A = this chain, B = another copy of it.
Amino acid sequence: MEEKKEPRMVNGVNIEQLFGTLDLIKQNPEVAKFKFRATNKWINGTHCQATVRDFYGALKEDTSRQPAVFHMDEPPVLLGNSQGTNPVEYLLVALSGCLTTSLVAHASAKGVKIRSVESRYEGDIDLQGFLGLSEDVPVGYQDIRVYFKIDADASDPEKEDMVRMAQKYSPVFNTITKSAPVSVHLES
């Protein structure tokens, strides 16, 4: 009788696929090159709508997902009608997902069993920057604080290490803390 091999799952992460992907990339680093995309359409006032669908990665275009639409708006105190979460809050959402996924993926690769991961995020913005009232005030976030609570088969030092790995390997965390070049073009 043939034995059917089940994928080894740790915390819902397919470890066989993870290490298989690592081997593929070691053989051909081009496999690791991804292009992520979004489009945006202004609606009215501070209300706009972004759409995410396709991406490029693992040597091919992926158009398998349905379009995901995100509404963004400001609250009334910032001239909007709260018809969506605002863009600087979406940045915290992105950071939260990326740190969490990085933490879980790297802990799972080490075989650490996780029961729960919760985190909260708070960032300071001084709108004097956005409004052009001061050249001395940063326009972007001045400081972002993150607090993790982890329930896992791990000691406190091991949990501290999980939080360090999350920061070391999270693409959004590294984009924010180390910066990335953004070129903006006008098309006719």
A94 CA to B185 CA, complexed, in Å: 18
Contacts of A179 in B (CB 8 A): 176-179
**Contact (A96, B36) CB under 8 Å given A140-B175, A176-B176, A184-B148:** no
A87 touching B94, Cβ below 8 Å: yes
Q: Is the CB of A13 within 8 A of B48?
A: no
Q: List, in ascending order, chain B residues with CB within 8 A of A117's CB.
A: 40-42, 48
Bound CA span A72–B105, Å = 14
On chain B, the residues within 8 Å of A72 by CB distance are 93, 97, 101
* Residue of B whose beta carbon sits closest to that of A127: B32
- Complex contact A187–B149 (CB within 8 A): yes
Q: In A51-74, which residues have CB < 8 Å from any B CB?
A: 52, 55, 57-58, 62, 64-65, 68, 70, 72, 74
Cβ 8 A contact of A95, one of B21, B84, B122, B182: B182
Question: Which of A62, A74, A139, A163 counts the most chain B CB atoms within 10 A?
Answer: A139
Chain B residues with Cβ below 8 Å from A139 are 168-171, 173-174
Q: B87, B142, B148: which contacts A101 (Cβ < 8 A)? A: B87
Q: Which of A118-152 contact B (CB under 8 A)?
A: 118-133, 138-150
Please report the C-alpha to C-alpha distance between residue A140 and residue B46 in the assembled complex, in whole angstroms.
28
Distance from A34 Cβ to chain B, minimum over Cβ atoms (Å): 5
Q: How far is the CA of A170 from the CA of B74 in the complex (A)?
A: 14
A interface list, Cβ under 8 A from B: 9, 11-14, 17-18, 21-22, 25-26, 29, 32-42, 44-48, 50, 52, 55, 57-58, 62, 64-65, 68, 70, 72, 74-79, 82, 84-102, 104-106, 114, 116-133, 138-150, 156, 159-160, 163, 166-188
A-B contact pairs, 16 of them (CB 8 A): A12-B44, A12-B47, A29-B126, A33-B125, A37-B120, A55-B89, A64-B76, A86-B101, A90-B97, A91-B94, A99-B184, A139-B173, A140-B175, A143-B181, A145-B182, A177-B182
